[in-house]
Amino acid sequence: MKIYFTLITLLSAMTSFASTPVWQDEFNQPVGAAPDSAKWIYDLGDNGWGNKELQTYTNSRENSFVVDDPEATDGKALVIKAVKTGEKSYTSARLKTLGKFSTKYGRIEARLKLPNGQGIWPAFWMLGDAINKTPWPECGEIDVMEQIGHQPGTLYGTLHGPGYFGQHGMSKSTQLPAGETFRDKYHVFSVEWSPGKIEWFLDGKSYHTLTPKDLPAGGRWVFDEVSCYLLLNLAVGGAWPGYPDATTQLPQEYRIDYVRVYRHE
């Protein structure tokens, strides 16, 4: 029995995280301000992003800006806003920390309030920071949170890598109680990334775990080799979520209270 409890203690210590983030953004800049340029840069353009998406990503204050929000922990949040600009044209924003910050292992979390509606696709995710030399999917991708807007109470967590990517990514979903949606209030989405293991959480409750032994035949676990940068984006349309229709209301707002990264103690 003593040995059993000793093992439990050791395992707990191995998976504990520091109480102070090694990197964070609380988005507490002045109202109307852009995201902090010391922490984030923009992806720009309208090339479909490999998913047949419709939006053009911009760096305009129409699409990303800080607001007062009494439901946010410090009273402020970042808004990523998708706007309809024509019959089948839209603008939005996609932010990333490439060249500013990346991490290997740790707890990566964000407190988010999500939009919904047919064809609306918010995400919080990570890509291997060697992507310019090691193309996707070999660089690795960790999708901390994805939601497709016609499933407003369903959350997806997914891993992509060599041998398991795109529609064959290692994905699992979880649902809010019947009748609740991720638009109703903020929730905390996170992964705990350790050597040989990645685990997904919603509001502190685990719903998905992957290790190298879970990969399909021929799949390769790259997540003990790479560091990843962070991304936040709000897409419109795409092969997976489908496309806006007469039921889709625009503009749509994706709200980010904070993003925090903790390392192992």
Q: What burial class does residue 246 get, using C-beta atoms within 10 Å of its C-beta: 0-12 exposed, 13-18 middle, 19+ buried?
A: exposed
Is 138 a catalytic site residue?
no
Point out the catalytic residue in the list 141, 180, 199, 253: 141
Q: CB–CB of 55/93 below 8 Å?
A: no
**Rounded Cα–Cα distance for residues 253 and 46 (Å):** 19
DSSP state of 65: E
**Rounded Cα–Cα distance for residues 227 and 217 (Å):** 24
Q: What burial class does residue 104 get, using C-beta atoms within 10 Å of its C-beta: 0-12 exposed, 13-18 middle, 19+ buried?
A: middle
Point out the catalytic residue in the list 53, 146, 192, 199: 146
Q: CB–CB of 93/80 below 8 Å?
A: yes
Is 53 a catalytic site residue?
no
Q: Hey, is 2 helix, strand or coil?
A: helix
Active site residues: 141, 146
